[in-house]
Amino acid sequence: MTPHPAARYIAAMSYASFLAVATGLSLCACSAASFTTEVQGEATVPASPAGTPTLLNAFPSISSFAALDFNENQDFKNRDVTKDEVTRVQVKSMTLKVLSPNDQDFGFLDSLEAVARAGNSESRFASRDGIARLGLSPPNPTVGLNTDGSLDLRPYVAAPSMAIILRGTGRLPEREVRVQATVVLEVEGGLL
């Protein structure tokens, strides 16, 4: 018995619809995922010797930024993504906040830049000049750095170890100042 032409048409259309849905789902399943991750650390800017104005010629290092391995990053683990699967990394924001004393401002800091380093390669990804003139008031002021949105940090994130180095100019503050640096990265890679 031969199926009615309308039945064959419905069966063919159902099969075509099934293929369209299956293809769409497979394309979605294979597209790159995008997520944000944050790295954070603290440093202490030493006080100037009593009564002696002293130039700030080196910003203190942040120990948690010294040997970053993104395979150990919790956001990477939550997404089941390794640093080798990353296709692009962009800096979304970089901030520096005064933690203590809470009545301290950024009057001691003229400029700051953030550099990504892996091996012998480095790239500046954020900077800010004229920080002391911004008039950011206590308590616990925060300054945002200008980021280079076109820079892809993937080679640094995928390296065996990456460091973030802060370089600043200004004067040593009258008292010791503890600061917190926060870098927010948008990561593309892995599968949805």
pLDDT of 99-132, one tens digit each? 999 999 999 999 999 999 999 999 999 999 999 9
Q: Which two three-digit tokens encode residue 38?
A: 């944050």
Total number of domains constituting the chain: 1
Q: What is the pLDDT of residues 30-82, one digit of tens each?
A: 445 899 999 999 999 999 988 788 999 889 999 899 999 999 999 999 999 99
Most confident of 6-10, 55-59, 78-82, 186-190: 78-82
What pLDDT is recorded for position 1? 60
Give the predicted TM-score (pTM) of the model: 0.81
Let me know if residue 59 belongs to a domain. Answer: yes
User: How many Cα atoms are found within 13 Å in the side-chain-facing hemisphere of 30?
Assistant: 6
Let me know if residue 14 belongs to a domain. Answer: no
Let me know if residue 12 belongs to a domain. Answer: no
Let me know if residue 179 belongs to a domain. Answer: yes
CATH code where residue 168 lies = 2.60.120
What pLDDT is recorded for position 10? 55
What pLDDT is recorded for position 51? 74
The boundaries of the domain holding residue 90 are 35-189
Give the separation between CA 107 and CA 115, rounded to whole angstroms: 23
Let me know if residue 105 belongs to a domain. Answer: yes
Let me know if residue 6 belongs to a domain. Answer: no
Let me know if residue 74 belongs to a domain. Answer: yes
- Strand pairing partners for 86? 189
pLDDT bracket for residue 171 (50, 70, 90): very high
